[in-house]
Amino acid sequence: MSDIINILPESVANQIAAGEVVDRPASAVKELMENALDAGATHIQLIVKDAGRTLIQVVDDGCGMSEGDARRCFERHATSKIRQANDLFALHTMGFRGEALAAIAAIAQVELQTRTHDNELGTAVTVEGGRILNQSACSTAPGTSISVKNLFFNVPARRNFLKRDSVELSHIEETFRRIALAHCDVAFSFYSNDRPLYELRVANLAQRITHLFGDAYKERLYYIEEHSDIVSLHGYVGKIDFARRTRGDQYLYVNGRFIKHPSLGAAIEKAYADLIPDRHYPGYFVMLEVHPDRIDVNIHPTKTEVRFIDEHAIFAILRAAVKKALGLYSLDSRIEFDPSTEIDFSPAPAGYIPHEPKIQYNSAYNPFNEHRSAGGGRQQWENFFDEEDKSSAHEPAPQLQLPPQEPVQPATCIQVGGRWIVGALPSGLLIVDQQRAHERILYERYCARNDDASPQQLLFPVTCTFSPADAEILAELLPALRRQGIIAEPFGRNSYVVSAVPDNGCEPQLQQLLQETIADYKASLMQPADKDPLCLALARRMAVQQGVTLCQEEMQQIVADLFRCQTPQYSPSGQRCMAVLSDQELTEVINTR
């Protein structure tokens, strides 16, 4: 038998490697921007056309490349950042594999112009499908400009696999934000189809956050800072009132690198336990500094995953830092200092014999039997580190529906705790969570709608302003919003005027409603879900919230509408809406309490 093993030609090998490094325009953006940062740039421009399909250009004023390097940088394993294996463990740069430019050049038409600061003339190189077509001297500003044209031009399968422009642009925008947040000492600009989306000047972290996310964020964040031998951290965490139902603005960095670290993310979220409603998530922008010897960033090719040697300690420090910020700042504005509660530390009179304190305890109490309450409950220290992620609860398949049709309504309902609607049914005691139930009702109503809802004209139309990128997303959502009764029209730069809202009695906070709808919609673009994101977002925002007092008629309406739903047991986000306690269960309750 003859030999059958071939060595792949370099160009094929590069194309295969390219698939791992560059899977969509946003990943090319990431690599190019990180190279610019590694080159010490103080100003980086990102220019994209057609969400990066036609053009991704990154222009920097960094160190530039020599004539030889300008050619060499496109070769595989070409890197100026490591020379020997040991360097791998002392990395302070973003890139080090020497793969990115080779990969990008293998699947696009690339034009490089670069000049070092001590050279009069620069070098221009044109590469296509991995082959250098042309190299010449050129006059150009010091620094580097790389244009990546027609990404995946020679990999049609991948090109066809790209999502709509709005999806790809959302990914690029997210990449841009992640990088810009970590490098406040660098100015950035971002143009999409010749429109400026962001112009970020050198700033501190708080300013960078508001430049990226809007001025409203000024009021939404607390500062955190903590220093120890294991970790130094600083940043901002969201105030409890601004917790959202999506894990939107969660940015965690280690040594200037954006990371995804579910357990450290949970450390922050746990600091909010009991302070924010179920299934709400805080926003955060947190920078960790850890000695490079104590982390391993090289476990994932795109390097958003990191392993920490001192993970448990960092978890505890991070959680404590967030708690401190929440406690320190939120208490002082809420609780007025009452001198009468001051503890009296005056010494006891001479000869005073204190009573031995009597400790009362319940000998039957077993902490391991305790049920956690619905709101997340008190944190048990045993599961401090490894509590299951509550968000993994899923709505069960519809065939599991129970109880069967409940034809009868309670004659009277009462509202308990601003949250529960309670009433008697022939089968037992009905308990309905008003907010979740209303979300379910609205969600099914919105999804079922095939013609436009009857809008209710606003007496005073409301103008809402967004970031340029969000304004663009909203343009895409207008027809769907109109179907739900929200009429918004473009009104100058990045603004919309809303002239009508759905005719269902709720007067929503429009700016917030639209902002959060956009956020949910963007999240769904990046992580497609089986739910209609717009209906879900609207249902969540329009539903009656916890704490709202309902009259008898409103309670009856919610119960009746809920019973008519296809899946009355669960809210659209998969939480229980209702329960019926049977006679037997009620007996058990009364006997065990």
Q: Which is nearer to ligand ADP, 74 or 281 (CB)?
A: 74
Closest distance of CB 58 from ligand ADP, Å: 7
Question: Half-sphere exposure (CA, 13 Å, Cβ side) for 259?
Answer: 25
Cα distance between residue 396 and residue 556, in whole Å: 26
Q: Give whole-number Cα distances, 403 to 11, 420, 555, in Å.
A: 62, 19, 20
The 3-class SS string of 413-445 reads EEEECCCEEEEEECCEEEEEEHHHHHHHHHHHH
Q: Which is nearer to ligand ADP, 43 or 482 (CB)?
A: 43
Kindly state whether residue 35 participates in binding Mg ion, applying the rule CB under 5 A.
yes
Residue 539 has φ and ψ, to the nearest 5°, of -60, -40
Q: Which is nearer to ligand ADP, 95 or 485 (CB)?
A: 95
Kindly state whether residue 265 participates in binding Mg ion, applying the rule CB under 5 A.
no
Closest distance of CB 72 from ligand ADP, Å: 8
Local structure of 111: helix, strand or coil: strand
Residue 469 binds what, of Mg ion, ligand ADP, none (CB under 5 to 8 Å, by partner type)? none
Cα distance between residue 466 and residue 300, in whole Å: 35
Closest distance of CB 105 from ligand ADP, Å: 9
Task: Specify the stretch interacting with Mg ion by CB under 5 A; choose among 30-38, 293-301, 355-363, 433-441.
Answer: 30-38
Tell me, by CB under 5 A, how many residues bind Mg ion. Answer: 3
Closest distance of CB 81 from Mg ion, Å: 8
Helix axes 205-213, 165-182, angle to 10 degrees: 170
Q: Which is nearer to ligand ADP, 98 or 277 (CB)?
A: 98
Q: Which is nearer to Mg ion, 95 or 235 (CB)?
A: 95
Q: Which is nearer to Mg ion, 35 or 144 (CB)?
A: 35
Cα distance between residue 575 and residue 392, in whole Å: 11
Cα distance between residue 208 and residue 215, in whole Å: 10
Q: How many CB atoms lie within 10 A of CB 86?
A: 8
Q: Which is nearer to ligand ADP, 270 or 303 (CB)?
A: 303
Kindly state whether residue 175 participates in binding Mg ion, applying the rule CB under 5 A.
no
Kindly state whether residue 62 participates in binding Mg ion, applying the rule CB under 5 A.
no
Site for ligand ADP in 50-109 (CB under 6 A): 60, 62-65, 73, 78-81, 95-102
Closest distance of CB 301 from Mg ion, Å: 12
Both structure tokens of 308? 């920490």
Tell me, by CB under 6 A, how many residues bind ligand ADP. Answer: 23
Kindly state whether residue 95 participates in binding Mg ion, applying the rule CB under 5 A.
yes
Residue 283 binds what, of Mg ion, ligand ADP, none (CB under 5 to 8 Å, by partner type)? none
Kindly state whether residue 523 participates in binding Mg ion, applying the rule CB under 5 A.
no
Residue 98 binds what, of Mg ion, ligand ADP, none (CB under 5 to 8 Å, by partner type)? ligand ADP
Binding mask 23-52 for ligand ADP (x = CB under 6 A): --------x---xx--x-------------
Q: Which is nearer to ligand ADP, 96 or 446 (CB)?
A: 96
Non-local (6+) Cβ contacts of 50 within 8 A are 165, 193
Cα distance between residue 554 and residue 3, in whole Å: 80
Burial class (CB in 10 A: 0-12, 13-18, 19+), 505: exposed
Cα distance between residue 273 and residue 373, in whole Å: 12
Site for ligand ADP in 136-165 (CB under 6 A): 144
Cα distance between residue 16 and residue 438, in whole Å: 50
- 239, 245, 251, 252: CA torsion to nearest 10: 90
Q: Which is nearer to Mg ion, 100 or 538 (CB)?
A: 100
Kindly state whether residue 100 participates in binding Mg ion, applying the rule CB under 5 A.
yes
Local structure of 384: helix, strand or coil: coil
- Interface contacts to Mg ion, rule CB under 5 A: 35, 95, 100
- Interface contacts to ligand ADP, rule CB under 6 A: 31, 35-36, 39, 60, 62-65, 73, 78-81, 95-102, 144
